[in-house]
Amino acid sequence: MAKGYDDHQARLSELNLLGKALTRRAKSCCELCEASGVKLTTYEVPPIPVEPELDQCLLLCPTCYEQLNRPKSIQTDHWRCLTKTMWSSLPAAQIIAIRMLKYLADKADWAAELLEQAYLEPEIAEQIDKAIITEKKK
């Protein structure tokens, strides 16, 4: 039958297994903007490993999730939350924060200023360029 569909379902159930641990880590808040009381979705930070890994996953609110998946829908002001997230002790959150700031730096002065303050461990800096947010061309 449709292999792509089965693979997708298998992935989802593997991600579900991580769900509890993620929820505990995130304390039921979005791991980027700290929104609470909203539906949280598991987001895998690219590059996506073959087997889902807790450290490569973030639990995100619909706003963060949607905008990360659809750069065209990015609302610059939503990402002011990154002022805090860029100092997260969670490497995956830090990677997305910096990656998003790099994306926003062209559009917003505050993002460019935050980037200048950012301090990154070398191994995190290395991963940033892999987690590229791209605008899909049609």
Residues near Zn ion (CB under 5 A) are 30, 32-33, 35, 61, 64
Nearer to Zn ion, 18 or 26 (CB): 26
Closest separation between CB of residue 82 and Zn ion, Å?
10
Nearer to Zn ion (CB atom), residue 46 or residue 125: 46
* Cis amide bond preceding 52, omega within 30: no
Compute the least distance from the CB of residue 113 to Zn ion, in Å: 22
| Six token digits for residue 25 | 């880590």
Nearest distance, CB of residue 2 and Zn ion, angstroms: 32
- Comparing CB distances to Zn ion, the nearer of 18 and 96 is 96
**83: Cβ–Cβ under 8 A, 6 or more apart, which residues?**
114
Burial status of residue 54 (CB atoms within 10 A of its CB: 0-12, 13-18, 19 or more): exposed
- Tell me the CA distances in angstroms from 12 to 2, 9, 44, 64, 99, one per residue in order: 16, 5, 11, 19, 25
Cβ at position 137, least distance to Zn ion in Å: 26
Please tell me the distance from the alpha carbon of residue 60 to that of residue 29, in angstroms, as a whole number: 8
Q: 97 vs 128, which CB is nearer to Zn ion?
A: 97
